[in-house]
Chains A and B, each alone.
Chain A
Amino acid sequence: MEYWDGMKAIAPELWLTGFALLALLVDLLTKGRNSRTVGYVTLAGLGVTALALMGQSERVTAFGMVEVDAFGRFFKLFTLAALAVVCVFVMSDRRERQHGIGEYYFLLLGAAVGIFFMVSTNNLLLLVLGLELLSLASYSLAGFHKGNKASAEAALKYVIFGGLSAGVMIFGISLLYGLTGTIDLAEMATLGGEGLPRGLVSQLAASPIPVGIAVTMVLAGFAYKISAVPFHFWTPDVYQGAPTPVTTFLAVASKAAGFGALLRFLGVMFVRGDVQGLVADYGGQVGLLIAVLAAITMTVGNVSALGQSSLKRLLAFSSVAHAGYLLMGVATMNNEGFSAALYYMAAYYFMNLGAFGVVLYFEGVNGNDHIDSLKGLGRKAPLVSIVMVAFLVSLTGLPPTMGYYGKFLLFTAAIDNGMTWLAVIAGLNSAISLFYYFRIAKALFLEEPSDESVPRTQPIFTGMLTAFGVCTVLFGLYVSPIMQWVVSSMDLLG
Chain B
Amino acid sequence: MDHTLLNWIIFIPMMGMAAILLCPKRSVGLIKVISLVATFIPLVLATWLYFVGFEVGSPAYQFQFMRPWIYSSSEAMNMKVNYHVGVDGISLPLVWLTTLLLFIGVPASFGIKKGEKAYYALLLLLEVGIIGVFVSLDYFLFYVFWEIMLLPMYFLIGIWGGPRREYAAIKFFLYTLAGSVLMLVAVIALRLETGTFSIPAMTEIAMRGDLLGTKLFAGGMLLGMKFTTWVFWFLFVAFAIKIPVFPFHTWLPDAHVQAPTPISVILAGILLKLGGYGLMRACFPIVPGAFDDFAFTLGVLGVISIVYGAYVALGQTDFKRMVAYSSVSHMGYVLLGVAALTEWGANGAALQMFNHGTSSAAMFLVVGVIYDRAHHRDLNGFGGLSQPMPVYWGLTTLAFFAALGLPGLAGFVSEAVTLIGAYNAGDPRFRVLVLISVIGIVITAAFLLWAIQRVFLGTLNEKYKDYPDINAREIFCQAPLLFLCVALGILPFYLLDWMEGSVEHWVSSMSQAIQIING
A434 smallest CB distance to B (angstroms): 5
- CB within 8 Å of A: which of B63-79? 70-74, 76-77, 79
- CB within 8 Å of B: which of A394-421? 396, 398-400, 404, 408-409, 411-412, 415-416, 418, 420
With a cutoff of 8 Å between Cβ atoms, the chain A residues found around residue B189 in the complex are: 415, 420
With a cutoff of 8 Å between Cβ atoms, the chain A residues found around residue B159 in the complex are: 445-446
- CB within 8 Å of A: which of B140-181? 143-144, 147-148, 150-151, 154-155, 158-159, 165-166, 169-170, 173-174, 177-178, 181
User: Is the beta-carbon distance between B76 and A335 smaller than 8 angstroms?
Assistant: yes
Indicate the member of B72, B174, B188, B191 with the most A CB atoms within 10 Å: B188
User: Is the beta-carbon distance between A399 and B192 smaller than 8 angstroms?
Assistant: no
With a cutoff of 8 Å between Cβ atoms, the chain B residues found around residue A389 in the complex are: 151
Given the contacts A399-B148, A409-B77, A442 and B185 also touching, CB distance less than 8 Å: no
Q: Which residue of B lies closest to A337 (CB)?
A: B76
A307 smallest CB distance to B (angstroms): 16
Given the contacts A339-B74, A399-B148, A484-B72, A431 and B216 also touching, CB distance less than 8 Å: no
In the bound complex, how far is the Cα of B150 from the Cα of A13, in angstroms? 46
A482 smallest CB distance to B (angstroms): 11
In the bound complex, how far is the Cα of B74 from the Cα of A334, in angstroms? 14
User: Is the beta-carbon distance between A487 and B73 smaller than 8 angstroms?
Assistant: yes
B19 at the interface (CB under 8 A from A): no
In the bound complex, how far is the Cα of B492 from the Cα of A424, in angstroms? 44
With a cutoff of 8 Å between Cβ atoms, the chain B residues found around residue A431 in the complex are: 174, 177-178, 181
User: Is the beta-carbon distance between B192 and A415 smaller than 8 angstroms?
Assistant: yes
Residue in B74, B147, B148, B158 whose beta carbon sits within 8 Å of that of A487 in the complex:
B74
Q: Which residue of A lies closest to B227 (CB)?
A: A420
Indicate the member of A339, A399, A479 with the most B CB atoms within 10 Å: A399
Given the contacts A399-B147, A438-B170, A420 and B185 also touching, CB distance less than 8 Å: yes
Q: Which residue of A lies closest to B145 (CB)?
A: A399
With a cutoff of 8 Å between Cβ atoms, the chain A residues found around residue B169 in the complex are: 442, 446
User: Is the beta-carbon distance between A487 and B77 smaller than 8 angstroms?
Assistant: yes
User: Is the beta-carbon distance between B151 and A411 smaller than 8 angstroms?
Assistant: no
Given the contacts A434-B173, A445-B155, A446-B169, A427 and B77 also touching, CB distance less than 8 Å: no
User: Is the beta-carbon distance between B77 and A336 smaller than 8 angstroms?
Assistant: yes
- CB within 8 Å of A: which of B181-220? 181-182, 184-185, 188-189, 191-192, 216-217
In the bound complex, how far is the Cα of B193 from the Cα of A420, in angstroms? 13
B516 at the interface (CB under 8 A from A): no
In the bound complex, how far is the Cα of B77 from the Cα of A442, in angstroms? 36
Q: Is the interface of B mostly helix, strand, loop or mixed?
A: helix
Q: Which residue of B lies closest to A397 (CB)?
A: B181
User: Is the beta-carbon distance between A420 and B184 smaller than 8 angstroms?
Assistant: no
Q: Which residue of B lies closest to A479 (CB)?
A: B70
B79 smallest CB distance to A (angstroms): 8
A-B contact pairs, 18 of them (CB 8 A): A398-B177, A399-B147, A408-B184, A408-B188, A411-B185, A415-B189, A427-B184, A431-B178, A435-B174, A438-B170, A442-B169, A445-B155, A446-B158, A446-B169, A447-B166, A480-B71, A483-B70, A484-B73
A428 at the interface (CB under 8 A from B): yes
B438 at the interface (CB under 8 A from A): no
Q: Which residue of A lies closest to B182 (CB)?
A: A427
B5 smallest CB distance to A (angstroms): 22
User: Is the beta-carbon distance between A446 and B166 smaller than 8 angstroms?
Assistant: yes
With a cutoff of 8 Å between Cβ atoms, the chain B residues found around residue A441 in the complex are: 154
A430 smallest CB distance to B (angstroms): 6
B203 smallest CB distance to A (angstroms): 21
Q: Which residue of B lies closest to A412 (CB)?
A: B188
With a cutoff of 8 Å between Cβ atoms, the chain B residues found around residue A412 in the complex are: 79, 188, 191-192
With a cutoff of 8 Å between Cβ atoms, the chain A residues found around residue B76 in the complex are: 334-336, 339
B30 at the interface (CB under 8 A from A): no
In the bound complex, how far is the Cα of B180 from the Cα of A404, in angstroms? 13
Given the contacts A412-B192, A431-B174, A442-B166, A424 and B150 also touching, CB distance less than 8 Å: no
With a cutoff of 8 Å between Cβ atoms, the chain B residues found around residue A487 in the complex are: 72-74, 77
In the bound complex, how far is the Cα of B178 from the Cα of A396, in angstroms? 12
Known: A438-B173, A442-B170. 8 other contacts (CB 8 A): A399-B144, A408-B188, A416-B192, A427-B185, A446-B158, A446-B166, A480-B72, A483-B77
5 closest Cβ pairs, A-B complex:
A427-B181, A487-B74, A336-B76, A399-B144, A431-B178
B232 smallest CB distance to A (angstroms): 15
In the bound complex, how far is the Cα of B188 from the Cα of A427, in angstroms? 12
A401 smallest CB distance to B (angstroms): 10
A423 at the interface (CB under 8 A from B): yes
A393 at the interface (CB under 8 A from B): yes
B222 at the interface (CB under 8 A from A): yes
Q: Which residue of B lies closest to A416 (CB)?
A: B192
Q: Which residue of B lies closest to A446 (CB)?
A: B158
User: Is the beta-carbon distance between B185 and A424 smaller than 8 angstroms?
Assistant: yes
In the bound complex, how far is the Cα of B169 from the Cα of A490, in angstroms? 42
With a cutoff of 8 Å between Cβ atoms, the chain A residues found around residue B185 in the complex are: 411, 415, 420, 423-424, 427
Given the contacts A435-B170, A438-B173, A420 and B216 also touching, CB distance less than 8 Å: yes
In the bound complex, how far is the Cα of B363 from the Cα of A219, in angstroms? 61
User: Is the beta-carbon distance between A423 and B143 smaller than 8 angstroms?
Assistant: no
User: Is the beta-carbon distance between A428 and B181 smaller than 8 angstroms?
Assistant: yes
User: Is the beta-carbon distance between B181 and A399 smaller than 8 angstroms?
Assistant: no
With a cutoff of 8 Å between Cβ atoms, the chain B residues found around residue A447 in the complex are: 166
Q: Which residue of B lies closest to A405 (CB)?
A: B70
With a cutoff of 8 Å between Cβ atoms, the chain B residues found around residue A256 in the complex are: none
With a cutoff of 8 Å between Cβ atoms, the chain A residues found around residue B79 in the complex are: 412
In the bound complex, how far is the Cα of B144 from the Cα of A404, in angstroms? 9
User: Is the beta-carbon distance between A434 and B174 smaller than 8 angstroms?
Assistant: yes
In the bound complex, how far is the Cα of B161 from the Cα of A326, in angstroms? 37
A290 at the interface (CB under 8 A from B): no
With a cutoff of 8 Å between Cβ atoms, the chain B residues found around residue A127 in the complex are: none
B507 smallest CB distance to A (angstroms): 32
- CB within 8 Å of B: which of A326-355? 334-336, 339-340
With a cutoff of 8 Å between Cβ atoms, the chain B residues found around residue A399 in the complex are: 143-144, 147-148
A486 at the interface (CB under 8 A from B): yes
A483 smallest CB distance to B (angstroms): 5
B403 smallest CB distance to A (angstroms): 32
User: Is the beta-carbon distance between B178 and A428 smaller than 8 angstroms?
Assistant: yes
In the bound complex, how far is the Cα of B181 from the Cα of A423, in angstroms? 9
Given the contacts A487-B74, A487-B77, A446 and B165 also touching, CB distance less than 8 Å: yes
Q: Which residue of B lies closest to A438 (CB)?
A: B170
With a cutoff of 8 Å between Cβ atoms, the chain A residues found around residue B181 in the complex are: 427-428, 430-431
Q: Which residue of A lies closest to B170 (CB)?
A: A438
In the bound complex, how far is the Cα of B71 from the Cα of A80, in angstroms? 29
A441 smallest CB distance to B (angstroms): 8
B376 smallest CB distance to A (angstroms): 22
B281 smallest CB distance to A (angstroms): 19
With a cutoff of 8 Å between Cβ atoms, the chain A residues found around residue B154 in the complex are: 438, 441
In the bound complex, how far is the Cα of B148 from the Cα of A378, in angstroms? 20
In the bound complex, how far is the Cα of B227 from the Cα of A415, in angstroms? 13
With a cutoff of 8 Å between Cβ atoms, the chain A residues found around residue B158 in the complex are: 442, 445-446
